Chains A and B, each alone.
Chain A
Amino acid sequence: MSDFVSNLSLGFSVAFSWQAMAYCFLGVSLGTFIGVLPGIGSLAAIAMLLPLTFGMEPTHALIMLAGIYYGSNYGGSTASILLNLPGTPSSAVTCIEGYPMSQQGRAGVALFMTAIASFVGSICGMLIMAIFSPPIAALAFSFSAPDFFSLMVLGMIAASTLASGSPIKGLAMIGLGLIMGMVGRDLYSGLLRFSYGVDELYEGLPLVAVALGIFGLPEVIKNAGQITGRTVKAKDISFRSMLPTRDDWRRSWGAMGRGTALGSFFGALPGTGGLLASFMSYATERRLSKEPWRFGKGAIEGIAGPEAANNAAVQTAFIPTLTLGIPGDIVMAIMLGALTIHGIQPGVSVINSHPDLFWGLLVSFLFGNMMLLVLNIPLIGLWVRMLSIPYWVLYPFIVAFICIGVYSVNSSVVDLYVLIFFGFLGVVMTTLKFEPAPLVLGLILGPMLEENMRRALTLSRGDYTVFFTRPISGMFMAMAALVLIWTIYGAIKARSVRRDHLREMARNLPDD
């Protein structure tokens, strides 16, 4: 315990220096401003700003990069809520409830709650990272292929009910995502699948292009020429209108707590990151809710939970990255790159040989998140005012920024054609009433699902029971089965209620 205190005080002494504070502030504000641009998410933001940090001292470079990361995460949520434009796949969850809230004129509340939930998630994630870093690092080594496979299965089953319509359609979208995830090189054989002669697809579909294609373009297409005036009148934006009501708070606290717990756990597992955490959190809230019909139409707990989860996961994702040299997600891989640029070898030794870096970074998370809160709450009004721009002015900007955002990722024109393809697919899906969010999950988890299943079966010498006999894997499978039973039970119950209701109506109506 005394170790912990002395470590923290070391961290404070590093993070409290004016340079560290300045870099943290610079990172957070740049991240927010770039993330808020429609079509630019945390991935694009961190890659654009990475070179800025090359010349800095390692601790400051990492503090700034981390600031850019969570700043742009927050900014990305803003674009998702206001315009249905997820700049990163994990913001896709925020779109589900955030955008409807925005259309109901409650964008300010959604943004306010996002800021609070992100803050709560980050701080809790940070504390968990500080206290449980060694055991969490050990967690990564106890996870093997069957466990990852079962975890993915659980995640997908839970997420299939994300669709506000039928869960069958949700499953179909996950299936579509799985197929899209197979595009490119098969790890096992080295063969290209579903690439139809396009070598650029070797490393799979570009995620940013897919996310913007199925969420962003259909939204613009739907609204262009239809929304003639302003979506929000400037005079309607008062500080009061941004404050969540007592009811909003009541709904959100529990969601934030559960989201934080889920996020802290999933973030620490290498390879899953915040995405699975946000989807699981959303699915959990929807299931626990006594009024599930509010979901998909602007339920605030559907933002608070996933945002807390995502941000907690961001913090704990640093654990496998820094202590094991195993990056938790793509952004963490860039962080790892930044470490080596500065000649620091990742590993448990980072904590021992560079305690100033480790603890300084940790404490800077605290400051960074406070800055984010202070920076953003006053800015909410400004962001919401973005909606008071007439749509005929706004949407050409959105189209242009989507194009530039997608192109900037790989400097690849092929990515733009992927964007167009998924734009068309998005329009088809909207017309046929399919929800796009489960597709994104399937797309990202698909390769991991397939690889871990094949790996598990190779290692178990073809024995399928390994998924049920290994304790961790068995536990996830049992949970998946429970979720499935719960869903079926819920559907039957809803049906009988509905039937009574229909019978009642039938008395008054002559025919169906």
Chain B
Amino acid sequence: MTKIKTIDVCAGAFIVLIGVLAIVESLSFEIGTTRRIGPGYFPFYVGLFMVVLGVVIALERLWTKSLADTEFSFPPLRAPLLIMAAVVTFAVMVERFGLIPAVGVGVFLASLADTNTTLMQKLTVSVAVPLVATLIFKIGLDMHVDVIRWRP
């Protein structure tokens, strides 16, 4: 059974999981009749379809020889966590403190994802990006957002 690869099993499991989620959600709605299909019909069958597809994906290599040999590796966590943290920061701050603080803090967090730059470089972009963004979106495009505000 060496033909079954971790990546296929993970990919298959991911699709099965989503299918199961859809089926679970569909159970709280009616399936309906053929003439009047209920809100549960589509999620249920698409979910079922996903479960089948997930199993096929996990085992596909058993009969399809043309698949490329792909190695599975966990991506490093630093960049995803910091970039996501930057977006969360923007989301949390923009309506409370305005565009400049939200972009500035967000960008600083994002800039930490690159370990090859100096602190000075990180701070420089954290100042430059909010200024450019303000110039383009607030002054140039008259976007209706506060540049700076205080409403925690």
Contacts and interface: CB of A to CB of B under 8 A. Distances in A.
A498 interface: yes
Contact of B35 (A225, A399, A400, A458): A458
A399 B137 contact: no
B125 A392 contact: yes
Contacts of A407: 90, 94, 145
Contact of B83 (A423, A453, A457): A423
B7 A432 contact: yes
Interface string B52-70: 0110110010001111101
Interface residues of A, number: 71
A245 interface: no
Contacts of A393: 125
Given A224-B110, A396-B110, A166 B50 contact: no
A496 B91 CA distance: 53
Interface string A490-512: 01001100110010000000000
Interface residues of B, number: 77
Contacts of A297: none
Chain A contact residues, majority secondary structure: helix
Nearest to A494: B66
Chain B contact residues, majority secondary structure: helix
Given A191-B29, A193-B29, A224-B110, A499 B11 contact: no
Contacts of B19: 175
A495 B65 contact: yes
B62 to A, nearest CB: 13
A168 B125 contact: no
Contacts, number: 203
Interface string B106-119: 11001101111100
A72 B21 CA distance: 38
A430 B70 CA distance: 12
A49 to B, nearest CB: 8
A400 B133 contact: yes
Contacts of A221: 75, 79-80, 83, 113
A403 B90 contact: yes
Contact of B141 (A34, A169, A430): A34
Contact of A399 (B42, B46, B49, B83): B83
Given A407-B90, A432-B14, 14 more contacts: A175-B19, A188-B39, A217-B84, A224-B79, A224-B113, A392-B125, A397-B125, A400-B106, A403-B87, A417-B91, A433-B70, A454-B37, A498-B65, A498-B66
Interface of B: 7, 10-11, 14-15, 18-19, 21-22, 25, 29-30, 33-39, 42-43, 46-47, 49-50, 53-54, 56-57, 60, 64-68, 70, 72, 74-75, 78-80, 82-84, 86-88, 90-91, 94-95, 99, 102-103, 106-107, 110-111, 113-117, 121, 125-126, 129-130, 132-133, 136-137, 141, 143-145
16 contacts: A172-B15, A175-B46, A175-B49, A175-B50, A176-B15, A221-B113, A224-B79, A225-B114, A392-B111, A392-B121, A392-B125, A396-B110, A397-B132, A416-B94, A457-B35, A462-B34
Interface of A: 34, 37, 48-49, 165-166, 168-169, 171-172, 175-176, 178-179, 182, 186, 188-189, 191, 193-194, 217, 220-222, 224-225, 228, 391-393, 395-397, 399-404, 407-408, 411, 413, 416-417, 419-420, 423-424, 427-428, 430-434, 450, 453-454, 457-458, 461-462, 464, 491, 494-495, 498-499, 502
